[in-house]
Amino acid sequence: MAGITRHVEVVLEGLTIGPLRLTTNLCLSPLAGYTNLPFRLVVREVGGVGLATTDLVNARSLLEKRPKAWKLVETRPADQPLAVQLFGARPDEMAAAAQLVETLGAACVDINMGCPVRKVCQVGAGSALMRDMDQAVAVARAMVKAVRIPVTAKMRLGWDARNITAPELARALEDVGVAAVFVHGRTREQGFTGRVSLDGIRQVVRAVRNIPVIGNGDVTTPEAAWVMLKETGCAGVSIGRGAFYDPWIFRRTWAYLSRLRTGDSTGDQHSDQEIPPEPTFEERLQVMRRHLDLLVEVFGEESACKMFRKIGPWYARRFGPNHEFNRRIVHLQRRDEFEEIVATYCRWRQQFCDAEGNLLPRYQPPPLTASFLAPDEVAEVVSVPSGPVEFW
């Protein structure tokens, strides 16, 4: 009990990345195509997130002032603290882009060491950096010299099971001034299959001397976040797809960790009551609506509605029966149409509810489970959004 309380207390001190002090140790992972300004604002408004990051941004495109790259770094004062993730292989370009990011007001700049796209790897960027330690270190060193904000790196455990390079790489990066390392507990070869290796993350925690290591992979519940923290000794947890299922995950996890500290728990066995409940259907609708409104503000109605066609179904995964919603939302064209779709769906959903309007237990979506908490070897527990992301 004393051990667990002390560990939670350390965690509840928040996370410090170089001079940057975060209010919680929970971070939003970059999800290209999803972690844009509207989604970051939604997650921040819901609460509990210590640091949010942009999608990966091509350093050269940023320097060449390409509009798409600049749109990716669009931010607002409410979108702080913000990390901008850059990819590139040339130290001079990455350093210049980091300076640019600093002038735009980013709180820190992250180096992508995970992108598998051939075009990126062929020029030595993304996950290719995990195979070329000298280049990775040269890039990091140049960036650290160029900016005052902390420079961080995000990686997988290694290229494949025979090449687990993350511990050595993390240590080498620390030596040139990298302020924190984010590690997804799978190899590039694994894609999103198999279990997240808590042991693999632990090895990285042990390899560095002082900098925080932030664990990542398959965290979809407050309990999974706590298990990752406890089992690996990592200083924080970064959540990607789990936030898409549930933008409340940061708030719920932070509340859960705080309750563990108050000493109500009886050791490592926590009852379900200690885990804050999932949001109600009405709350989900409210936040989903806010998400759409922010998309309209930032991208304009037409693009926002197109983008929302793939976002809406993620919210609907926790609605219970959702066919009627998904069937229509994937054709969304106008903001006002959304209200009509929701109203029709709510009427349709009544048939699965009791007299108080609550979903009958047999229609409730099954609880989410992290791969590392599942009893048996599983192929994939958390869905992966469609697109060329198999090896992120």
Ligand X SMILES: Cc1cc2nc3c(=O)[nH]c(=O)nc-3n(C[C@H](O)[C@H](O)[C@H](O)COP(=O)(O)O)c2cc1C
Q: d(Cα 174, Cα 197) in Å, to the nearest integer?
A: 22
**Alpha carbons 105 and 108: distance in angstroms, whole number:** 9
Question: Any catalytic annotation for residue 115?
Answer: yes
Enter the tokens of residue 392: 């992120």
Can you tell me which of 16, 45, 47, 55 binds ligand X, judged by CB under 6 A?
55
Q: Does 385 sit near ligand X (CB under 6 A)? A: yes
Among 52, 34, 128, which residue's Cα sits nearest to residue 90? 128
Q: How many CA atoms does the CB half-sphere of 183 hold within 13 Å?
A: 41
| CA–CA distance, 176 with 206 (Å, rounded to integer) | 18
Whether residue 348 contacts residue 186, with contact meaning beta carbons closer than 8 Å, is answered with: no
- Binding pattern for the stretch 331-350 against ligand X, x by CB under 6 A and - elsewhere: --------------------
CA atoms of 176 and 182, how far apart (whole Å): 16
43, 52 contact by CB (below 8 A): yes
Instruction: Answer yes or no whether residue 189 interacts with ligand X by CB under 6 A.
Output: no
Joined tokens for residue 196 = 């997240």
Strands 20-22 and 15-17: antiparallel
Name the residue nearer to ligand X (CB basis): 32 or 229. Answer: 32
Of the two residues 56 and 180, which places its CB atom closer to ligand X in the complex? 56
Among 215, 240, 247, 279, interactor with ligand X by CB under 6 A: 240
Q: Judged by CB under 6 A, does residue 50 bind ligand X? A: no
Q: Are 223 and 270 in contact (CB under 8 A)?
A: yes
28 close to 52: Cβ distance less than 8 angstroms: yes
Of 91, 114, 236, 247, the one binding ligand X (CB under 6 A) is 114
32 vs 101 by CB, closer to ligand X:
32
Least Å from the CB of residue 357 to ligand X: 32
The smaller minimum CB distance to ligand X, of residues 152 and 265, is found at 152
Map the footprint of ligand X across residues 300-329, applying CB under 6 A. none
- Is 241 among the residues that bind ligand X (CB under 6 A)? yes
Q: Quote the CA–CA distance of 334 and 149 in Å, as a whole number.
A: 41
252 binds ligand X (CB under 6 A): no
Site for ligand X in 145-174 (CB under 6 A): 154
Q: Give dist(CA 240, CA 247) in Å, integer.
A: 10
Q: Does 56 bind ligand X (CB under 6 A)?
A: yes
State the nearest-atom distance from the C-beta of 56 to ligand X, in Å.
Answer: 4
Contact letters for ligand X, residues 7-46 (x by CB under 6 A): ----------------------xxxxx-------------
Nearer residue to ligand X within complex by CB, 36 or 112? 112
| Neighbour count for residue 287 (Cβ, 10 Å) | 19
Q: Which of 27, 108, 115, 234 is catalytic?
A: 115
Helix (H) or strand (E) holding 236: strand 236-239
Nearer to ligand X, 45 or 55 (CB): 55
In angstroms, the first-to-last Cα distance of the chain is: 38
372 binds ligand X (CB under 6 A): no
Region binding ligand X by CB under 6 A among candidate stretches 116-124, 159-167, 285-293, 380-388: 380-388
Interaction of residue 389 with ligand X, rule CB under 6 A? yes
Q: Measured between alpha carbons, how far is 13 from 298 in angstroms, rounded to an integer?
A: 34
DSSP 353: B
Instruction: Give the Cα separation of 254 and 265 in Å (integer).
Output: 15
User: Site for ligand X (CB under 6 A): which residue of 59, 72, 120, 219?
Assistant: 219
Closest residue to ligand X, based on beta-carbon distance: 240
> Do residues 154 and 85 touch, judged by C-beta distance below 8 A?
yes
Interacting span for ligand X (CB under 6 A) from 42-50, 74-82, 347-355, 383-391: 383-391
Figure out which of the listed residues 78, 161, 330, 384 binds ligand X, where binding follows CB under 6 A. Answer: 384
**Which residues are near ligand X by CB under 6 A?**
29-33, 55-56, 85, 112, 114, 154, 184, 216-219, 239-242, 382, 384-385, 387, 389, 392
Give catalytic residue positions: 115
